[in-house]
């Protein structure tokens, strides 16, 4: 893909010596990008389909970057930025769109990342989420975790599930977010959205307060620390349906991450509590489509059946992947299996699948030459025969 050029889109951008923030954001939306990156001593960049592309303007000076940020930051926010060295918030420039913003200090001055957000909440059907996501919206209680790396669409998935509940149930939905991304108007449900910094000081205290606010559904934007995780599990145990997010790459590793967040002397208790409260873990990634015109979501799904709960309680989480392999009837999905099906169907290129796969061996026929060389060298130094790199699956026609 070529560098993005302002002159191709808007004649008003002809003077590229210094651009207004609204012009950068307008270009982000027109290019259907996900993120705008601005930094002192660097040319602005836009992330399109997962790749950062440089905008054809000169590198921003530190003074220019500060001027751009003063367009959107109040004096109080500037003061907080000076103290905390980073700042999270959301903006909605008139006629441009909705954006989540993080501003932070780096060695040359200020930097900022703007995440473009949809003005309307997409439905579960529009996102083509697995059927179990709709089922989970009807759980009377328990803990539902949506996980994945940064930029994998966790917030969008959660928003679609909250929207489904809002349209179909009569409940009180309380969200704790940092910042509020999708705006939910009360429909059949009463929806109260609270933003970190503006409406509460920390997630733990907000969760404690939430239990006295008669919620049926609680959304915790991110489970950041042991205290917040413990409170979320307690809320799920006491009759609430709790949604939360974590940065983990697979569903079964999410269980280990939750337990390992606590000191060893508390882990048995947390293991027991989690085995009773956990309902579902959906881990997701966004993979470039075969035509490189978009991205495809793949999911790793763990449903907390009685067998899974027993493994969690007994400390045998290493056996969970085996149950996921055979748990399709319960709604479980192994991400690599799903990814392999997408390659076979031509939706995803094999090389991209190898890069994003958790088990590289299953996709070794698409491994790049340099990866083959490293693998064979490693095996040779360990006295093994060089790998022929044949996957343990039926042959799949190569793509691309």
Structural domain includes residue 359: no
Residue 309 above 50 pLDDT?
Answer: yes
Do 103 and 155 have their domain in common?
Answer: no
Can you tell me the distance from the alpha carbon of 302 to that of 280, in angstroms, rounded to the nearest whole number? Answer: 6
pLDDT (0 to 100) of residue 119:
79
Do 93 and 216 have their domain in common?
Answer: no
Token reading at 263: 């000191």
By three-state DSSP, how is residue 163 classified? helix
**Position of tokens 């930097």?**
111
The pLDDT tens digits of the residues spanning 259-283 come to 999 999 999 999 999 999 999 999 9
Buried-exposed string 86-102: b where 16+ CB fall within 10 A, e elsewhere: ebbbbbeeeebbbbbbe
Do 70 and 140 have their domain in common?
Answer: no
Among residues 100, 117, 134, the one where a domain terminates is: 117
Q: What are the Cα distances from residue 398, in Å, to 293, 326, 348, 353, 395?
A: 20, 27, 11, 11, 9
Do 142 and 36 have their domain in common?
Answer: no
Mean pLDDT over the full length of the chain:
88
Sheet holding 98-106, edge to edge: 51-54, 45-48, 35-39, 109-117, 98-106, 86-91
The pLDDT tens digits of the residues spanning 215-258 come to 999 999 889 899 999 999 999 999 999 999 999 999 999 999 99
- Domain range for 253: 124-343
Token reading at 213: 């606010």
User: Using 50, 70 and 90 to split pLDDT, how confident is the model at 292?
Assistant: confident
User: Using 50, 70 and 90 to split pLDDT, how confident is the model at 139?
Assistant: very high
**Cα 133 to the chain's mean position, in Å?**
16
Structural domain includes residue 348: no
Burial class (CB in 10 A: 0-12, 13-18, 19+), 311: buried
The pLDDT tens digits of the residues spanning 143-198 come to 999 999 988 999 999 999 999 999 999 999 999 998 888 899 999 999 999 998 88
Do 134 and 113 have their domain in common?
Answer: no
Among residues 343, 361, 388, the one where a domain terminates is: 343
Do 110 and 133 have their domain in common?
Answer: no
Structural domain includes residue 74: yes
Do 179 and 54 have their domain in common?
Answer: no
Structural domain includes residue 270: yes
Structural domain includes residue 377: no
Among residues 343, 360, 378, the one where a domain terminates is: 343
From the list 239, 118, 120, 245, the residue with the least C-alpha distance to 171 is 239
Do 134 and 268 have their domain in common?
Answer: yes
pLDDT (0 to 100) of residue 222:
85
Burial class (CB in 10 A: 0-12, 13-18, 19+), 27: buried
Are the C-beta atoms of 290 and 241 separated by less than 8 Å? no
Residue 52 above 80 pLDDT?
Answer: yes
Structural domain includes residue 312: yes
Q: How many domains does the chain have?
A: 2
Structural domain includes residue 333: yes
Do 28 and 139 have their domain in common?
Answer: no
Do 131 and 111 have their domain in common?
Answer: no
From the list 36, 17, 96, 92, the residue with the least C-alpha distance to 4 is 36
Token reading at 48: 């399109």
From the list 48, 21, 44, 9, the residue with the least C-alpha distance to 32 is 48
Do 156 and 112 have their domain in common?
Answer: no
From the list 160, 159, 164, 163, the residue with the least C-alpha distance to 180 is 159
By three-state DSSP, how is residue 313 classified? helix
Structural domain includes residue 351: no
CATH code of the domain containing 18: 3.30.450.90
User: Using 50, 70 and 90 to split pLDDT, how confident is the model at 209?
Assistant: very high
The pLDDT tens digits of the residues spanning 5-17 come to 443 444 334 444 4
Do 308 and 284 have their domain in common?
Answer: yes
Q: Which residues contact 157 (CB under 8 A, 6 or more apart)?
A: 127, 129, 133, 146, 282, 284
CATH code of the domain containing 146: 3.40.50.300
């Amino acid at each position: 893909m070529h560098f993005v050029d302002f002159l191709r889109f808007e004649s008003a951008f002809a003077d590229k010596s210094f651009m207004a923030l609204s012009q950068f954001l307008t270009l982000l939306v027109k290019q259907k990008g996900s993120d705008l990156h601005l930094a002192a001593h660097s040319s602005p960049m836009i992330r399109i389909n997962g790749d950062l592309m440089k905008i054809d303007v000169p590198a921003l000076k530190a003074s220019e970057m500060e001027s751009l940020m003063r367009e959107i930051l109040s004096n109080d926010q500037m003061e907080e930025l000076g103290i905390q060295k980073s700042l999270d918030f959301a903006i909605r420039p008139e006629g441009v769109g909705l954006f989540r913003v993080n501003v932070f200090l780096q060695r040359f001055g200020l930097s900022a990342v703007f995440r473009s957000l949809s003005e309307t909440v997409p439905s579960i059907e529009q996102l083509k989420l697995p059927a179990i996501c709709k089922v989970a919206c009807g759980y009377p209680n328990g803990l539902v975790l949506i996980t994945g790396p940064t930029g994998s669409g966790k917030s969008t998935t959660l928003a679609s599930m909250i929207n489904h509940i809002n349209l179909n149930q009569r409940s009180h939905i309380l969200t704790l977010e940092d910042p509020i991304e999708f705006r939910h108007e009360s429909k059949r449900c009463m929806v109260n959205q609270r933003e970190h910094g503006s409406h509460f000081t920390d997630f733990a205290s907000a969760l404690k307060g939430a239990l006295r606010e008669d919620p049926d559904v609680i959304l915790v934007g991110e489970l950041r620390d042991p205290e917040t995780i413990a409170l979320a599990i307690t809320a799920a145990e006491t009759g609430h349906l709790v949604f939360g997010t974590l940065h983990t790459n697979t569903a079964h590793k999410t269980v280990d991450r939750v337990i390992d967040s606590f000191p060893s002397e508390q882990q048995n208790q947390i293991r027991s509590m989690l085995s009773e409260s956990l309902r579902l873990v959906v881990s997701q990634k966004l993979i470039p489509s075969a035509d490189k015109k978009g991205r495809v979501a793949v999911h790793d799904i763990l449903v907390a059946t009685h067998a899974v709960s027993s493994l969690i309680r007994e400390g045998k989480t290493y056996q969970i992947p085996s149950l996921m392999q055979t748990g399709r009837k319960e709604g479980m999905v192994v991400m690599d299996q799903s990814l392999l099906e997408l390659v076979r169907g031509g939706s995803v290129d094999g090389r991209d699948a190898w890069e994003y796969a958790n088990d590289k061996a299953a996709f070794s026929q698409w491994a790049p030459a340099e990866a083959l060389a490293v693998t064979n060298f490693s095996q040779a130094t360990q006295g093994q025969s060089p790998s022929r790199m044949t996957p343990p699956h039926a042959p799949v026609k190569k793509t691309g």
